[in-house]
Structure 1
Amino acid sequence: MSYPVHGRCGNPFLDGIHGLLSTELEIRTYEAVRERYGMITSGDAAVLDDPVGASLRGHHAGFARRLGRAVTYQPGVATFSAVSSTPDAADWADLARLLGRGEFADMFSSPATPPPDWEPVFVLEGRQMIWRGGNRTGQAHAAMDTDVVELAAADVPEMLALIGRAEPGPFWPRTHELGTYLGIRAEGRLVAMAGERLRPPGWTEISAVCTAPEARGQGHALRLVRALVARILSRNDRPFLHVAETNTAALALYERLGFESRRHVTFRGFRTPRACAGGARADHQPSA
């Protein structure tokens, strides 16, 4: 009896082994081992080289504003922007026109360098980490964690207040629309949260992991990240995240939860030229 072959990973050796399996038990065992040890090929994760552009071309296309080869999120959702992998002067002019004069452009992990008249705002060294497998018992516990609640639009004021106190990174009034956000309350107050942000094909980024200062040391971040990992895996996506190189506590937590570093990233922000940008393509108009 033959069984359907699932989960080919693109590695010729591993796929060759998979093709030789003939019993349901053998196939299930292979799938469990592959899932446990996170056999991901470089091709599987290549889309993470440009997670902003990949998200805006795919799952987040409805949040995109475009002009030529430049793309950015709608105001209030995120400040992340992207250009082509080989941008020319017209691409940068298009992005400047999309954003407006003297406006902030968060180029996230893009290696592209804008023209000299773009003012540098910040540089932050960090890591991109991908989930390679973890404790299934922990994921089962996450699914039963009744203290973890799903946050909604009505919770945005509290979410913004917590972000302001904990400072995990950028979060705007409409950022919660990008995915599911979870929280933990103590005596009715939101004291910890985390959620889903970028969505390149096959992957979901975990972001905004934060805990109020007075509630730290109680395992809230671990519980929230574990719950998000379980949700992401349930729809056959893989979790990934970004973390500042100096945040050693977060790095240790994520490694404990089954994340491994994929690459070093440099996060950069710029301000568009305050003078009128020239060279934009006249035959394109920004699209929401």
Structure 2
Amino acid sequence: MSTSVHRPQPHSPATPHVLDNPAWAALTGPHARFAERVGRAARYPTDVSPFTALADPMDPRAWDDLAALVGPGKLTPFSGAVPPAEGWEIVQAGEGVQLVDTSLRAEPAPEAVRLGPDDVPEILDLIARTRPGPFLPRTVELGTYLGIRHEGRLVAMAGERLRPPGWTEISAVCTDPAHRGRGLATRLVRAVAAGIRERGDVPFMHASAANTGAIRLYESLGFTLRRHTSFLLLRVPERKEHATQP
């Protein structure tokens, strides 16, 4: 049976939306137990997720705090619509999109199984073959991950990543190339969304802007483009002192 649609609540244009800064909202909210934090900057442990976040990306002090957290000269991923502060080097850059559930039909997938820490080696093997995005040894701790097996082998999966208040990101959607065209990704996205809806959250997703096939699939399932964003790999400035120390 399909669960009811939870539509995003309207907000004032003058008030930032929680999805404008989802990693910070998650790390200071439902995922606070994972947060490594210095002042106005936070990140997930490096074996959980690559996400780093700032309370206000327009605040130079937040960038100083992130530099103190990561370390001078080190590399760190960062996502958002605001360019980095002066002195930060952009090593790699890519464009992304954020999509939100507006009319998704969420329903369980009876053939899907819950994936946990014991499944991580097999998950990482599937991730290496399909490259849906970063997945680390402890990413599975972030939420519910579901998989579909064929003759005992994991061939498709999807799960939960960022959890800003009231929202949950669906991520790591992937299918073994030999098993594509069977609707496995669709069934898993709907099944993960059903669990998200059960606790009262709204599903959302991120995707590479270049992955037009995936974007078309998600839009056909009931997701709507909300905004464009950037995925950056940054180098911390070489500085001996920062405004805030750990």
Give the counterpart letter for 1:168 in structure 2. Answer: P
Q: Flag the structure with more relative contact order, 1 or 2, with Cα contacts below 8 A and sequence separation at least 6.
A: 2
CA contact (8 A) 2:81 2:228 kept: no
Is the contact made by 2:94 and 2:230 (CA closer than 8 Å) also made in structure 1? yes
Q: What amino acid is the match of 2:54?
A: V
Report the CA distance between 1:107 and its aligned residue: 1.2
- In 1, distance between residues paired with 2:32 and 2:209? 30
Among 56, 59, 65, which residue is 1:94 paired with? 65
Deviations 1:92-146 (A, max 9, x none): 2321221123333211225141332x331221112111101234xxx3xx32x32
Q: Helix, strand or coil for the counterpart of 2:95?
A: strand
Aligned to 2:158: 194
Deviates more, 1:103-112 or 1:37-46: 37-46
2:30 corresponds to: 59
Aligned equivalent of 1:134: 104
Q: Which has the larger radius of gyration?
A: 1
Aligned position for 1:205: 169
CA gap of 1:114–1:39, structure 2 versus 1, over 3 A, is: closer
When normalised by structure 1's length, the TM-score is 0.78
Q: Distance in 2 between matches of 1:256 and 1:65?
A: 37
Q: Which residue of 2 aligns with 1:258?
A: 222
Change (3 A) 1:188 1:37: closer
1:208 alignment partner AA: A
Q: Give the CA deviation at 1:209.
A: 0.5
- 133 and 253 in structure 1: CA distance in 2 versus 1, 3 angstrom threshold: same
Give TM-score, length-normalised by structure 2.
0.90
Q: Which runs of 4+ in 1 moved over 3 A?
A: 35-40, 42-45, 86-90
SS of match in other structure, 2:227: strand
Q: In structure 2, how many angstroms separate the alpha carbons of the residues matched to 1:102 and 1:279?
A: 13
Q: Secondary structure at the match of 1:269?
A: strand
| Cα offset, 1:38, TM superposition | 3.3
The correspondence of residues 40-189 of structure 1 with structure 2, limited to 5 A, is 40-42=9-11, 46-116=17-87, 118-135=88-105, 139=106, 142-143=107-108, 145-189=109-153
Code of the residue aligned with 1:104 in structure 2: it is: L
Deviation for aligned residue 1:246: 1.8
Q: 1:76-102, CA deviations, whole angstroms, 9 ceiling, x for partnerless residues?
A: 011211123254444323212211233
- Gap regions ≥5 residues in structure 2: none
Residues 97 and 38 of structure 1: CA distance in aligned 2, closer, same or farther (over 3 Å): closer
- SS of 2:48's partner is coil
Q: Determine if the alignment matches structure 1 residue 240 to structure 2 residue 210.
A: no
Q: Aligned partners of 2:44 and 2:59: how far apart in 1?
A: 21
Structure number having the greater strand percentage: 2
Which string of whole-angstrom CA distances, capped at 9 and with x for unpartnered residues, describes residues 157-182 of structure 1? Answer: 11111111111111111111111111
More helix, by proportion: 1
1:38 aligns with 2:7: yes
Q: Percent identity between the aligned chains? A: 48
Root-mean-square deviation (Å) = 2.2
Matched positions, count: 242
Moved more, 254-263 or 43-52: 43-52
